[in-house]
């Protein structure tokens, strides 16, 4: 999945690849500078994982350094992903559970709550 991300981004000569505004309903995206997009990378990537469509994924690939850049961001997301989204990112980005900070946080939280 997303094997064609480079071609899709290169074909976007009119700069139409953008994260859907409905995913960031609580943010005024028209005023975001590149530095603010970078500062919000975990939040944006998480919203795209949870609610985005295919074009939103291509938009974050363009924003955050391609497939590998987004993969590194996914690994560092601290908020707990639901099981479906966690399975999705593990499959798409070829990750183990232990590669995800959100999985480790959930695992440690469960240990604490069940002790």
What is the rounded distance in angstroms from the CA atom of residue 46 to the CA atom of residue 102? 11
Q: What is the pLDDT of residues 87-103, one digit of tens each?
A: 999 999 999 999 999 88
pLDDT one-digit tens code per residue, 6-33: 999 999 988 888 999 999 999 998 888 9
pLDDT of residue 1: 85
Return the number of other C-beta atoms located less than 10 Å from residue 70's C-beta.
25
Domain range for residue 96? 5-113
Total domains present in the chain: 1
What's the pLDDT score for residue 102?
Answer: 86
- Label residue 107 by pLDDT band (50, 70, 90): confident
């Amino acid at each position: 999945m997303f094997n064609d991300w480079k071609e899709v981004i290169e074909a976007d000569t009119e700069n139409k690849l953008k994260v859907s505004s409905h995913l960031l309903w609580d943010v005024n995206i028209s005023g975001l500078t590149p530095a603010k997009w970078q500062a919000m990378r975990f939040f944006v990537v998480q919203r795209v994982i949870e609610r985005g469509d295919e074009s939103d994924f291509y938009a974050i690939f363009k924003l955050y350094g391609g497939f590998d850049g987004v993969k590194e961001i996914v690994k560092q997301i601290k908020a707990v992903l639901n099981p479906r989204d966690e399975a999705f990112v593990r499959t798409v980005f070829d990750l183990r559970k232990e590669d995800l900070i959100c999985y480790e946080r959930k695992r440690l939280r469960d240990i604490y709550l069940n002790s």
